Amino acid sequence: MKHIVSVAEMREFDRAAQRAGSPETELIWKAAGGLEEVCRPFDVLTAVCGPGNNGADGLALILRRLRQGKKDLAVVLGEKLSPGLVRYLEQVEAEGGEVMRSLPEAFRGEAVVDALFGVGLTRPPEGVFAEAVRKINAFPGAVIACDLPSGMDGDAGIPLGPCVKADLTVSMAAFKAGQMTESGRRLCGKLIAADAGIPTAGERLVWEEADVAALFPPRDPFLHKGSAGTVTLIAGCNEYFGAALIAQTAAAALLEGAGLCRLAVPKSLLPTYQQRVTETVLFPLSEKALGHLGFCPEELEKLLSSRVLAVGMGLGDSDEVYAAVDFLLDRFRGSLLLDADALNAVARRDRRRFERPHGPLCLTPHPGEFSRLTGRAGTDFSDGELLDYAARNDLVLLLKGHTTRVTDGKRICYNLTGGPALAKAGSGDALSGFAAGLLTRADPFSALCAAAFLHGRCGELAAREKGEYCVLASELPGFLPEAVQSLSGPADRR
């Protein structure tokens, strides 16, 4: 996993690494290795380098590729050059690399690497640097930013003035706070973090493939369905029976390792689901009105043996739903996941219900649902607000969004997988199914982090096959096997 740090924190981590004995030029060389990895697909590229150590990273990249026989172009701008940059500039020139000290008429190759400015920039690029930004943005090939798109505020994620818009950003050592904002994500494009030899720390995290892969070890050859765990979903009503089908990602629950999945629905809906589910066991629930849940403690008692209960997807908002949630909060000691209408029922009847004792609890709201839960107007919540809510209520919170965040009140994880293909009704229900499956064998924080990652990865795979416009939420579970298999293979860096 990688940390998310502020500009000030990153500077201090950099200084600490040097105090611990890592020379600056060594750190630059290692950082360039991360750039080199993502640039492998390009036969020829241009690195546009500023006068500081961000520019030195770009020149170290050119040197690495030069030693592999690549014929790249380095463009070095500015007069007052950092010592690290001077060293790599001299090496590139000594080994026959081509270096220009002014902007060329055209950049060379299929990609341009933006190494003008990193986290040290505090004012808008001016003069030749502003012209370089405009020229990079007009480049028809791939634009790869080194650490930050030049011109972006590393903490706020907003342009300081002229700013590079990258296709991919290689963030050095850790992700920067500004890269997590909506503006920052738009400017950075695809985000990856490279090991730059600088240890970092903090409560803000990004899970990577290796973190998710750790939840999928080889299975015990003597495992049986009884020991693999049972997931029960309480979901669906007349108007929203499709939400239960998607969340019934019993597909997802079973494929992720749960032994048995039950779908508990209002009894008049059983014929609808009998025609649509195969591996899932159906469980009829009493009804208050036709196709709507009725509160029956005796029936809910029979579900308490489940390892995981996921409640709320398309269930409808009613007093009966709240009574069922209240009962489960009191009695269930497995992992309880509340989503959608289960959250709406609590928000309308007792927003402070989670402050009373309960077992392991996960909430998966979208911003509107979380706004109702908190009673706060608006849908833009800070990390501090999420951390405080989770800590105060002793739960794990997953707040859905373009950049989904997961917190247990002590740490907060940003998810960077996904894309616009997931902006469809039912996508959140699929996420709940993924989370329910993972909760059978992982702690709640890990399960929700991994669920968000795999949900996003499924969206990426689906978009690659069907296009960003034509992906349906019900199709996401079908991409889960490929998503899990991709965890052990090379990441797609382009």
pLDDT of residue 247: 74
Average pLDDT for runs of 10 along the chain of length 494: 96 96 95 96 98 97 98 96 96 97 97 96 96 98 98 97 98 97 96 94 96 91 78 93 75 67 94 85 94 97 96 95 98 97 97 96 97 94 97 98 96 96 93 92 96 96 96 92 81 38
Q: How far apart are CA 178 and CA 175, in angstroms?
A: 9
pLDDT confidence of residue 275? 84
Q: What is the pLDDT of residue 276?
A: 83
| Fold match between domain 2-202 and domain 211-488 | no
Domain spans of the chain?
2-202, 211-488
Rounded distance between C-alpha atoms, residue 102 and residue 100, angstroms = 6
- 107-108-114 Cα angle (round to 5): 55
Among the listed residues 106, 117, 116, 127, the one whose alpha carbon sits nearest the alpha carbon of residue 47: 116
Cα 239–Cα 454–Cα 238 angle in degrees, nearest 5:
5
Architecture of domain 2-202: 3-Layer(aba) Sandwich (3.40)
What is the CATH T-level fold of the domain 211-488, as seen in this structure? UDP-N-acetylmuramoyl-L-alanine:D-glutamate ligase (3.40.1190)
Give the model confidence (pLDDT) of 260-294 as tens digits.
889 999 999 999 888 888 778 899 999 999 999 99
